[in-house]
Structure 1
């Protein structure tokens, strides 16, 4: 499976997504408690992320509410001045003052709105950063075993695409509710002063929208959950079509047309689902808005009726008309804010569960490695990947002594890399024990095994950074030592070609950025090996360390391995049996179990699995020699 596939977790199905959709939608009866929990969670997050900006947002919202109420009185003042111009006692200066007041209040409203927009943008980015911190804490803190589970990727993708922005949306909803309530109270008092019957009619107009918006929120959440897998599949296809590493194979096999068809089919299906979803939402929206409009129209008819009865004057009626329209907008804002809170709340529940993920195999902080190392022993070690019934490693016993080079060999799928990850502390054993100097690592401080092991895998990461960074990442928590970087590069055979780069060890190892240079596969492998040597751990795990090396480089690596290790122990995985024949002990894995172990000579004399596989590999070269 490629890195892109693993990164998107595309091996799962949609069953889990449907399960989450049913499980996450809360019953209406718990709405008050949910509302409090969602609001408190979101406000605490925003308060932590950008306290002063949030305070100013609330202040501006309240100030804007006061301006709205003031505008109603200013309108009444202006209308009264206009209607009184024909009277002997009329004063033009009074009318001018009213117009100026209305203009000033309108300008203040616009200024407050503009400043609010800027503050909202800043607070939004601050909240996004805080949420990224929490997401990254989980994604880098949970055990590696989680990354073998498609369910984990479903939730990770949903949080990454939807829930990161939702806390601020809830906060915006809360701010909108605060502003709507404050402005609504001012307008309500004003409207009640004109005539008390107008107020309850307007408040009733907001109820249909509030009820239908709840249903819309549930539809939106279910749609996003159901689309998790298809969106990931579409994203992965786009990576294949645009990625630099994939470009050569896409062209070599002529895959562009086929992958484009797949991408278009996925997008077409998404648009069809989106259209159906939006139509369902539109039905509820139309019902709510139409009912609200009917109630608003009835309120305006009542206002006209009151005017005809002479219970409201012309100026007051004009101001009341403006107040009705403004209060209607505030009611809409109030219901919209509540809808935002509940709709985002469904995603936040998902987010809160994600950021609270903890398990027994979570990644604790790596601690300082032990000062001594005499042996590492695996006893009856068993490990099964999530969703599988057959163990990948089954009741394995392995011992690595101080200064020893121990080899793991076997056919593909025999469990070599899985066992290497267990030795490196990346996977916990489901059964059995791992002993460091006779002590169970489960009783040692968390992270001891990882901190004490340097590991380089066959599919190592090629960081698009400088050569120095690529090597020093072997021990990122220690102060950078240029001397150690060069010593590690020398030990792995990378020193010569890294020195020849335009900026030496500071040259970016990529063509993606200006001034960068790319390396060959063999050169990259030497850099990766240098990364493991830089860690200076007592135990080194090398998974196929010579797969990209030419025969001469491979011979040089293995012939000088003991000297390079300088007393450290090594677990070497290789499918080339000739490269591990000088190991102190060789373990042969078959179907996740140790089929046999011993030195090369011992295993050859037994004529077992090792001897058979060794002879098969050697026969190709012997035949070539015979032909020659």
Structure 2
């Protein structure tokens, strides 16, 4: 995790982004709009239509108000038809002004209805869009290579993309709102130009300083957010460790609560200080720019008042022009600030869409060959070497061995010897850096990864404990057969998980884990039997068990492997284990050291060799004496 002492926030950039760079960042807006349209064409069209109608409402209300004021001034200059309103009404003097008032009332009421309808449409569209982006994010992540998930840099990019998937929905309303405001500006500016064209020249004085400030601080906010991604991931990790069922026992027993809280507070405070610094600077400069804007407005307002005093404008013109200038000033600022904010948010959109541009490197060939089923001859590693991406260390090198069809092969070696890497290569989660792996003479790279995975059953020591029902926990082993109850029960019987499930109150319908209400947790060994059932559920041509019985006691382990040997007579299998009671059941054993094969043979042959395997076996056996 990250150590903070001495780490300072990045400075305000001396060189702002160029206009071309901002345009490049805003290219993602087109992708966003296309994504919105895909989400719901009808809702998108409704939002646009409602805003189009609303765009003409301000000019209509202002002009109606001008007509009302002018009519009131006209009426005040006429002799009164009588002392009461009824006299004015009977004389017909109030007909015109009443008509204008009703028109203004209708415009105001219609505007309220339109705004509420727009808000409703946008909220529904926003939620649908959030779901769409999340689904697309999950779908793309599922296509990527294992190496991406094992990279800290990728995890940072994924975290930023997740945040943007959930945090950019306000941009939908902002984009459509910008278009609405621009139409309104055109209508208001047309009226202003007719009466006093030079007043438009005052508008830049009111909004240019604010635009500069917003652009500057949007860029800085993005820099801080991006720079702090590792720390934010660490905050989420600390939240999880400090308050989850999985870690509760150890946190309590080791008394880690205060330590985790202290570490969280220190990390969160560092992020808070950065954000506070930017917020204070933004508020200070914003106050100055707001004062400049107000000064520009009152200069224009004073001019309009003077023209009204001299008789060049009517009182209705005064109300219309002052209202138009005030709205134009606000709208110009809102539009241009909106553009800078959209440009700033487009930086965040780059985090989202650049994630979609990550391409997997383990790809199916143009004309993939079918996985040979059943396996007839076996699997061959030919001079296989592998380096993890962006490293120079060879995890395995010059690896040559054959796994015959129907053979059970055990891999033995200390941690870091390359056992799990061999599994990753064999399942084509990675491709070899050099050499090749073949199944019945067909190179794995000539097969589709999806096809390979469908014919291989793998259970890792760190298997997932799904917070699903017992049925679904087993059914995920062959997801297309998850509703086949007979197959699920057979897999459970083969892995000895049927005894575990029989004790559950709702048996196969029982929710497992403590994450959800009425969930029932299992012991480590019970979870492991359920996980092993997934491998049987798969009915695979090749079964790989990576430390499959680590949580089982010796008796349960013996039962599981005796069952496995009986049921897997014609199944090709690879077993990784540190327990020699498990390893000795294999037909052949490979002893690995530093990515190379040190010894190979059956249990009896390796003991007779009196080499490394015999040494390790004796050390473990001595622990039971």
Query: TM-score normalised to the size of structure 1?
Result: 0.91
- Tell me the CA shift for residue 139 of structure 1: 1.6
CA contact (8 A) 1:173 1:338 kept: no
> In structure 1, how many angstroms separate the alpha carbons of the residues matched to 2:224 and 2:506?
51
Name the CA distance, whole Å, in 2 between partners of 1:425 and 1:18.
Answer: 42
Match of 1:101 in 2: 103
Hey, what does 2:295 align to over in structure 1?
294
Counterpart of 2:18 (choices 27, 31, 41) is 27
Distance 1:280 1:163, change over 3 A: farther
What is the deviation of 1:479?
5.8
Q: Which residue, 126, 136, 139 being the options, matches 2:141?
A: 139
* More displaced 10-residue stretch of structure 1: 170-179 or 114-123: 170-179
Residue 527 (1) aligns with residue 506 (2): no
Q: Secondary structure, in 3 states, of the residue corresponding to 2:110?
A: helix
Mapped to 1, the partners of 2:578 and 2:513 lie a distance apart of 29
Q: How does 1:232-251 map to 2 (within 5 A)?
A: 232-251=233-252
In structure 2, do the counterparts of structure 1 residues 476 and 294 end up closer, same or farther at CA, with 3 Å as the change threshold?
same
Q: Does 1:599 find its partner at 2:589?
A: no
| CA distance in 1: counterparts of 2:277 and 2:2, whole angstroms | 27
Residue matched to 2:88: none
Structure 2 residue aligned with 1:542, among 538, 541, 545?
545
The equivalent residue for 1:254 is 255
Equivalenced residue count is: 607
Determine if the alignment matches structure 1 residue 470 to structure 2 residue 473.
yes
Q: For structure 1, which segment, 359-368 or 74-83, has the greater mean C-alpha deviation from structure 2 after superposition?
A: 359-368
SS at match of 1:82: helix
State the Cα distance separating 1:475 from its structure 2 match.
0.9
Q: Secondary structure at the match of 1:435?
A: strand
Match of 2:208 in 1: 207
Aligned to 1:54: 44
Of residues 387, 407, 413, the one that matches 2:416 is 413
Q: CA deviation at 1:26?
A: 4.9
1:562 corresponds in structure 2 to: 565
Using the alignment, how far apart are the partners of 2:60 and 2:608 within structure 1? 99
Preserved CA contact (<8 Å) 1:509 1:516: yes
What's 2:150 paired with? 148
Q: Which moved more, 1:124-133 or 1:287-296?
A: 287-296
Moved more, 307-316 or 468-477: 307-316
CA distance in 2, matches of 1:362, 1:205: 56
**1:86 to 2:76 alignment:** yes
2:439 matched to 1:436? yes
CA–CA distance in 1 between the matches of 2:65 and 2:369? 70
2:130 alignment partner in structure 1: 128
Task: Give 1:345 deviation, angstroms.
Answer: 0.8
Using the TM superposition, give the Cα deviation of residue 544 of structure 1 relative to its aligned residue in structure 2, in angstroms. Answer: 1.0
Q: 1:564 to 1:553 in 2, by over 3 A?
A: same
Cα-to-partner distance string for 1:273-319 (whole Å, 9 max, x where unaligned): 11112233335534543333332222222222322333212221122
* Alignment-derived partner of residue 83 in structure 2: none
**1:79-121 CA distance string (max 9 Å, x none):** 1122223232782222222222222211222221111111111
CA RMSD of the aligned region, Å?
2.6
Q: Does 1:63 align with 2:65?
A: no
Task: Specify whether residues 163 and 302 from structure 1 end up closer, same or farther in structure 2 by C-alpha distance, changes over 3 A only.
Answer: farther
Change (3 A) 1:460 1:164: same
* Structure 1: gaps (5+ residues): 1-9
Q: CA deviation at 1:607?
A: 1.6
CA distance in structure 2 between the partners assigned to 1:38 and 1:546 by the alignment: 49
Query: Could you tell me how far 1:571 is from its partner in structure 2?
Result: 0.2
1:389-411 deviation digits (Å, cap 9, x = unpaired): 32223332232111111001112
Residue 138 of structure 1: CA displacement? 2.4
Structure 2 contact 28–353 (Cα < 8 Å) conserved: no
**C-alpha spacing 1:30/1:143, structure 2 compared with 1 (3 Å):** closer
- Structure 1 residues 162 and 484, CA, compared in 2 at 3 Å: closer, same or farther? same
Whole-Å separation in 2 of the counterparts to 1:25 and 1:122: 37
1:492 is aligned, of 495, 503, 506, to 495
Q: Any conservation in 1 of the 2:411–2:576 contact (CA below 8 Å)?
A: yes
Q: TM-score, normalised by structure 2?
A: 0.91
Corresponding residue for residue 614 of structure 1 = 617
Partner of 1:38: 28
Matched, 1:280 2:271: no
CA distance in 2, matches of 1:201, 1:79: 26
- Verify: 1:265 aligned to 2:266, yes or no: yes
